[in-house]
Amino acid sequence: MSTPKTIIILSGKRKSGKDFVASLLQEKLDPNRCAILRLSYPLKSQYSKDHGLDLEKLLDASDFKELYRADMIRWGEEKRNQDPMYFIRAISSEPGAEKPIWVVSDARRRSDMDCLHQLFPNIILSLRIHAEEIVRRERGWQFVHGVDDAESECGLDGYNSFDHHLENDGDVNKLNDVIDNILRSHHLLS
């Protein structure tokens, strides 16, 4: 298992901009030193194999993924119930995991946070990303019963231990400034 020097964990609702923020972080921290790792990648990879589906279609933001989202959530919960560390261990062997900085772009459950803190104590910076519902709708979000009210979307709503909260409502300059300040305050950016 790879052991990074720093892990930045991102959490937020669907269409809040987690992937966008992850890309900004990677760019600021140097792609040669910083990898974006997704807990959902090993889930989607194994789910696609088990169900004979196209992995690339499950990885993008297409309607195809939405057809399987609820079942992938159910399947992932079964895996987590059997082994809470399953997906955490899986990302540590993904390409890029040898880099000293990880951006885990999709923590969704308290167990994700607990397992990461347990395996990698004292090297974690956690960020909760917020976007107003109207902005999320503009980005293509629509409420789906069984998805947006499930643990995969709501599991960290009451989590009070995030290091920082970011507003991502479309002002990229403001978002960049906030990210720069956070990275400087944690001595990750000079």
Residue 190: inside a domain, yes or no? no
16 labelled ligand-binding: yes
As for how many domains the chain has, the answer is: 1
pTM recorded for the entire structure: 0.89
Edge-to-edge strand list for the sheet holding 34-37: 34-37, 101-104, 6-12, 124-130, 164-167
Range of the domain at 167: 6-184
Collapsed DSSP state (helix, strand, coil) of residue 109: coil
In a domain, 189, yes or no: no
Task: Say if residue 14 carries a ligand binding annotation.
Answer: yes
Regions of the chain with pLDDT less than 70: 1, 61
176 labelled binding-site residue: no
The pLDDT of residue 1 is 67
Residue 63, domain member (yes or no): yes
The pLDDT assigned to 46 comes to 87
Instruction: Report the CATH number that the domain containing residue 104 is assigned in CATH.
Output: 3.40.50.300
181 is in an annotated binding site: no
* Residue 168, annotated as binding a ligand: yes
Residue 106, amino acid: D
The pLDDT of residue 110? 92
Distance of alpha carbon 163 from the chain centroid: 15
Was 18 annotated as part of a binding site?
Answer: yes
